[in-house]
Structure 1
Amino acid sequence: MRKFKCEVVTTNTYIVEIDENIINEDWMDNYSNYFTEIDTIEEHAINVAWHRNMFKNDNFEGYGYVGEVSSELTSEDLKNKGITLRVISEDEEIETEAREIK
């Protein structure tokens, strides 16, 4: 039997908008108490993008529903949510490499 180690690399690009009036220091402290310690708005943007990449949905633990901007829905429509996500590209660039292992 032949065995292969396969590596698949994809590139996903998102724009994450966070309203600092809603996702403020108190909100982040509360999030850190119940989930994982994330101290900055930038770290929350990274976390939201990571969740989208991993689970391909828009309902993330600790954040609830994160509005996804689409052609019908603008970031202005989702403003009261505090976080919006715009998918720029998802799984469009894929590289795959296989190496036989013994």
Structure 2
Amino acid sequence: MKRYKVEVTRVDEYVIEIDETIINQEWISEFEKFFWDVNDLKDLASHLAIVQATEGKNSGMIEGFGHITRDGELPFSCEDYDSNGVLLPEEERRKAEPGFNIKIRYEEEIDTYITELK
């Protein structure tokens, strides 16, 4: 049996937009009551980028943040449809959490490096 060590390098690039008029000290203080201490907005941007990279562009609600738009729109979700596959009325669909947007510059530029193991 042949065995291979495969190193995968992935490069994604996002622009995380945070509206400081909405995501202000009051918002952060409330967030910190339930999650973690936030040093600055970079902490939030870093977390959103990690969730985006690990869960993908169609990830649903992000705990502590709500439903975040990608490129200005909410990603597809079955939550917006009834049990028969019919799109729910607008007022019953998910709502985007104001104050955040993830601009996807590019995702999944992937390189692999393979070494045969003896």
TM-score by length of 2: 0.70
Q: Are 1:85 and 2:90 counterparts?
A: no
Cα deviation 1:9-67 (Å, max 9, x = unaligned): 11111111101121111222222221222221111111111111110125211101111
Q: Which runs of 5+ in 1 are unaligned?
A: 74-78
Q: Which runs of 5+ in 2 are unaligned?
A: 74-95
Q: Larger Cα Rg: Structure 1 or Structure 2?
A: 2
Identity %: 28
Residues paired across the two proteins, number: 95
Output the CA distance in 1 between the equivalents of 2:97 and 2:34.
Answer: 22
Per mean C-alpha deviation after superposition, the further-off stretch among 79-88 and 53-62 is 79-88
1:99 maps to a residue whose letter is T
SS for the counterpart of 2:33 is helix
Output the CA distance in 1 between the equivalents of 2:100 and 2:47.
Answer: 12
Give the superposed CA RMSD.
2.2
